[in-house]
Structure 1
Amino acid sequence: MRQVKIRNSFFTTTGNESFWNQMESGSWEPNTLKVLDDHLSEDSIFVDIGVWIGPTTLYAASLGAKCYGFEPDDVAFSKVSENVKLNDFKYNPTIANKAVTSDGTNITLYSRWEYGDSGSSLLKRIKSKNAQSIKSSIPFDSIFEFIQEESVALLKMDIEGGEFFILPQNVDFIKKHNPTILLSLHFNNLIEFLEGEKTRLERFLNNILDPQRRKTKEKAKDIFKQTLLVFKDYDNIILDGNEETTLKDVLRKDFETIDSILFKFK
């Protein structure tokens, strides 16, 4: 058990010592923490889709925010639940051991290397060991109803590629509520998933005829673009934590270089 100090905030954790050292040193996703600082304050509401062991949720709770999280990975869920119990925040976070999906159906959750390593995903990727388990989920457009809140100050989504198959199906919900969303994007996971949908023979031939995976990348780019276009009505877009930009400019970039985008509706 140790106390983690981030800027002027403190919280207690156990296990994963090297990760918490990295976070405390400021080398873990400083842009993400800046977004939390800029958008959360005491009594504001934060929704964390893809909690993992709790870095963003615990930090948000230490700011006095009311936090709701979703984490379908049983190992990660056990760890974040233990971390929450070690603290006495103004609002102790509420974490559901569920996935968030487009339609609320049961899903198969695939591990990256092993459960709890932060790489679990709705996508089966060819480079993963792909242990799998069946998990329940809630539909994205039922989140506010599920947490019994009418609006949120910030919604963070970091689900290792699942975002590409949730957000485009929820355009109406996003247009209705215009939530501020911090979205992590996983273009390479999407490419792996698309490659994995091919048969072994197709992958073999593809490696010979198209070793650069141009066709797969073009399909991935199209899916990526459709995901970003969900936010075409948003007029405040910040790329990777510090570059204020436009959606038109983002669509011109190399998608492999994009880590996260903050979408804010003025």
Structure 2
Amino acid sequence: MKIKVKNIEFLVNEKFNQLFWNYVSSGKWEPHTFEIIDNFVSENSSVIDIGSWIGPISLFMAGKGAQVYSVEPDPVAYQELISNLKLNPALDQRIQSFNFAIAPEDKEIKLYARK
């Protein structure tokens, strides 16, 4: 499934979260976030996307040419993120993904999903 946000296009796995991706493409999901990124992120940027989930922000920033460090602790969301990155080989080169959490101490935590 092709997603277009502003002038940036990328592909996502339509098997997962199709309604969400349609919402992103409509421009109604976090328009203020994309506006800020559009104004401040460029090909000279290095950014950290903490809680990158399935990649909407990471893919957009990489599409703008930024080097992105994408951090997602949820193993299910992380696998979907990886699936979306693989669909975008040119952007995948600009995104380094990490499956861990950022916390003030080193310990095991329990993640909760909506379902």
- Report the Cα distance in structure 2 between the residues aligned to 1:47 and 1:22, rounded to whole angstroms: 24
SS at match of 2:39: helix
- Report the Cα distance in structure 2 between the residues aligned to 1:45 and 1:20, rounded to whole angstroms: 25
Higher relative contact order by CA 8 Å / sep ≥ 6: 1 or 2?
2
Tell me what 2:95 maps to.
93
SS at match of 1:110: coil
Whichever residue aligns with residue 56 of structure 1, its letter is I
Out of 96, 105, 115, the residue aligned to residue 107 of structure 2 is 105
Tell me what 1:42 maps to.
43
TM-score (norm. length: structure 2): 0.90
- Report the Cα distance in structure 2 between the residues aligned to 1:24 and 1:66, rounded to whole angstroms: 23
SS at match of 2:111: strand
Q: Which runs of 5+ in 2 are unaligned?
A: none
TM-score (norm. length: structure 1): 0.40
> Does the CA contact (< 8 Å) of 2:86 and 2:92 recur in 1?
no
Tell me what 1:8 maps to.
7
> Does the CA contact (< 8 Å) of 1:57 and 1:93 recur in 2?
yes
Shift of 1:96: 0.7
SS at match of 1:56: helix
> Does the CA contact (< 8 Å) of 2:74 and 2:99 recur in 1?
yes
Shift of 1:104: 3.0
Moved over 4 A (4+): none
- Report the Cα distance in structure 1 between the residues aligned to 2:28 and 2:54, rounded to whole angstroms: 17
Tell me what 2:21 maps to.
20
Shift of 1:106: 2.3
- Report the Cα distance in structure 1 between the residues aligned to 2:68 and 2:107, rounded to whole angstroms: 24
Shift of 1:7: 1.2
Shift of 1:90: 7.5
- Report the Cα distance in structure 1 between the residues aligned to 2:40 and 2:71, rounded to whole angstroms: 20
Root mean square deviation of aligned Cα: 1.4
40 and 25 in structure 1: CA distance in 2 versus 1, 3 angstrom threshold? same
Whichever residue aligns with residue 99 of structure 2, its letter is N
Whichever residue aligns with residue 9 of structure 1, its letter is I
Shift of 1:110: 2.2
- Report the Cα distance in structure 1 between the residues aligned to 2:53 and 2:74, rounded to whole angstroms: 8
Tell me what 1:72 maps to.
73
Identity, % of aligned positions = 38
Give CA deviations for 1:90-115 in whole Å, capped at 9, x if unaligned. Answer: 7431111101111232222222x23x
Q: Which runs of 5+ in 1 are unaligned?
A: 115-266
